[in-house]
Amino acid sequence: MLDHALRGPLAGEAHARPFLRLEGPARLSHLAVYAEEAGGDVHQRLIAELCATLGTTPPSPSASHFRFQHDGFYLKWERHTEFSTFTFVLEGTHGEPFSDPAISRVPASWLARLEGKRLVALHAEVLCGDMATRTHGSLKPWFTGPVLVGSRVLGGGEVWCDWHINPDGFSRFLVLDLDFREAQVGRLLQRLAEIETYRMMALLALPIARTMTGALGKLEAELSDIMERMDANADGRDDAALLQSLTHLAVRVQALGVHSNRFSASRAYDRLLSARIAELREERIEGVPTIGEFMERRQSPAMDTCRTVQARQEQLATLVARAVDLLRTRVNLTQERQTHALLQGMNRTAQTQLHMQHAVEGLSVAAISYYVLSLLGVGLKALKGGGFAIEPEVAEGLLIAPVALCVFFGVRRLRKKFTLAGQHS
């Protein structure tokens, strides 16, 4: 086999999530499910339960996408890293826009399973021909939000929305097919669904950023107070307490870094959002903002807030680490000065001991000489008593100098011997 084992799966990624293929009027309902549960079990359970209600075989647990089509009803499921999307489509629709959404074909029991997990919910209506032309002049009935956003897209139609969540829990996109080419409608609807999904996923970091703003302010004030105390503590008496305070502060600052993954994901989703908006190739409709302009004014400040908060956390962590290093350096210098003073004291003590030792050696020479002479005096007296013509006192006096010299050199030799033995041991 010539191919690498991964060639097939990697090549298949280019076709893993094909665009919707729609012709004529259609209605789309799109859901994005975000669950903070560990693993992706919740997403696999939801698609398995939905397939059971629709009477079709669910995808394998390792699948990342699934498609099902039956009698004008279309289901498309995609599994992403943090969320999954469910797109329901009805083709060949009639009647008033948004009057009979595709989500109405989904059992209410399954929708109840999404409680607390639905992050995105939108309806999209595609109008063609005369209906699109008539609706173009009367858009207000379909939108209740304070700002109407619209633009010409892909050179063949218009998109209108208000980014407002209606009482039914869904926002709305109205697509007017004025002159779209084949397959453009499907690509456009998928892009619109992705724009709303990536917008909401990017904003997940905003509540965290707002919460961290207050915490960072308190931590920055605490760091400033500690730095002032460090500057006032010139004698180093409180260095140990300051180092402990800085260590506690570093732990709390580092604890805020647990949200770094959320901020990184937010930036990634924001880049995807910008890319999807650019793919619409928007052209301005006089009097209304485009999707790109709306996002620039409403989404960009939120993303700037997230980036600023993350930068503040990282900068604060750096400042705390630098303060800890400075304090440790000062503590080390203080310890070195104390060690130097201790060594000087030990050196003076050693010199004093050496002088005392020399003095003791002198006294020991005199003492040893005295005892040696005493022994010699006893011997001389014994010799005189034995008949030798010796004057013990005279002889003992004459021996003082030789005995003292012998004892002196003997003691000195012993001291050198013990000193050399201590150096070699």
341-352, pLDDT tens digit by residue? 888 888 888 777
Number of neighbouring beta carbons within 10 Å of residue 291: 22
Across the range 137-156, mean pLDDT stands at 88
Q: 248-281 burial, b if ≥16 CB within 10 A, otherwise e?
A: ebbeebeebeebeebbebbeebbebbbebbeebe
The per-residue DSSP string of 241-290 comes to HHHHHHHHHHHHHHHHGGGHHHHHHHHHHHHHHHHHHHHT--EE-TTS--
pLDDT tops 60 at residue 39: no
Structure confidence by residue, pLDDT tens digits, 60-105: 988 888 999 887 789 999 999 899 999 999 988 888 889 889 999 9
Across the range 208-230, mean pLDDT stands at 92
Across the range 26-42, mean pLDDT stands at 83
| C-alpha–C-alpha distance, residues 176 and 172, integer Å | 13
| C-alpha–C-alpha distance, residues 173 and 127, integer Å | 11
Name the β-bridge partners of 177.
128, 157
pLDDT tops 70 at residue 422: no
Across the range 357-382, mean pLDDT stands at 72
| C-alpha–C-alpha distance, residues 337 and 53, integer Å | 80
Structure confidence by residue, pLDDT tens digits, 276-331: 999 999 999 998 999 999 999 999 999 999 999 999 999 999 999 888 888 888 77
Q: Which of 15-24, 204-213, 324-333 has the highest mean pLDDT?
A: 204-213
pLDDT tops 80 at residue 363: no
Signed CA dihedral, 416, 419, 424, 425: sign only: positive
| C-alpha–C-alpha distance, residues 68 and 54, integer Å | 9
Across the range 358-371, mean pLDDT stands at 70
| C-alpha–C-alpha distance, residues 29 and 50, integer Å | 15
| C-alpha–C-alpha distance, residues 203 and 303, integer Å | 7
pLDDT tops 80 at residue 407: no
Name the β-bridge partners of 79.
84
CB 120 within 8 A of CB 196: yes
Instruction: Please report how many Cα atoms fall inside a 13 Å half-sphere around the Cα of residue 221, on the Cβ side.
Output: 6
**What is the per-residue pLDDT for 215?**
93
Instruction: Kindly list the distances between the CA atom of residue 208 and the CA atoms of 37, 126, 260, in Å, as whole numbers in the listed order.
Output: 18, 37, 10
Q: Which of 5-14, 35-44, 196-205 has the highest mean pLDDT?
A: 196-205
Amino acid at 187: R
- Label residue 298 exposed, middle or buried (CB < 10 Å: 0-12, 13-18, 19+): middle
| C-alpha–C-alpha distance, residues 250 and 246, integer Å | 6
pLDDT tops 70 at residue 140: yes
Average pLDDT, the chain: 86
Across the range 222-236, mean pLDDT stands at 83
For the entire predicted model, the pTM comes to 0.77
pLDDT tops 70 at residue 209: yes
Instruction: Kindly list the distances between the CA atom of residue 361 and the CA atoms of 354, 400, 411, 417, 423, in Å, as whole numbers in the listed order.
Output: 10, 18, 8, 15, 20
**What is the per-residue pLDDT for 76?**
94
Show the DSSP H helices in 34-106 as ranges: 41-54
**What is the per-residue pLDDT for 173?**
96
**What is the per-residue pLDDT for 93?**
81
Number of neighbouring beta carbons within 10 Å of residue 399: 17
**What is the per-residue pLDDT for 134?**
83
* 3-class SS letters over 107-147: CHHHHHHHCCCEEEEEEEEEEEHHHHHHHHCCCHHHCCCCC
